Amino acid sequence: MRLRWFYFLAMVAGTLLPLSEFLPWLSAEGLNIALFGQELFANRISSFFGLDVILSALVLVPFILVEGRRLGMQKLWMPIVGTALVGVSCGLPMFLYLREARLEAMKGTAINQVV
């Protein structure tokens, strides 16, 4: 399997699995930001995961912009929106999928030989 398709499948799973937990919560509680934060940081383990994902997202966005521009990639807004709406589990594999597609398109060019 090409690496690009692995990233695509990871993006699909990274979108569907988190949303399978969030959407029922959203349906039951509505857009209650205070309750969301309270439940996200309810204990040390959930705080560990929450802080890990938040920090990862804050690092991922500049990486998407810098690496994406360096490679001349289009549609960089897509993985940023995916990260903001779903999380790193969606945004990172989406960016890697788009990056892999760009690298495949660049094969044989002088830029690819420098990268």
Q: What is the pTM of this model?
A: 0.88
pLDDT tens for each residue of 34-53: 999 999 999 999 999 999 99
| Position 55, amino acid | L
Q: What is the DSSP letter of 87?
A: -
Supply the pLDDT for residue 48.
Answer: 97
Looking at the 3D structure of the chain, how many domains does it have? 1
Residues in Cβ contact with 8 at an 8 Å cutoff, skipping those fewer than 6 apart:
93, 97
Task: Give yes or no for a contact between 83 and 90, defined as CB atoms under 8 angstroms apart.
Answer: yes
* Domain around 52: 3-114
Q: Splitting the chain (115 residues) into consecutive groups of 10 residues, what average pLDDT does each group show?
A: 91 97 96 96 97 98 98 96 97 97 83 52
Supply the pLDDT for residue 107.
Answer: 86
- DSSP code string of 23-72: HHHHHHH-S-HHHHHHHHTSSHHHHHHHHHHHHHHHHHHHHHHHHHHHTT
Supply the pLDDT for residue 111.
Answer: 52
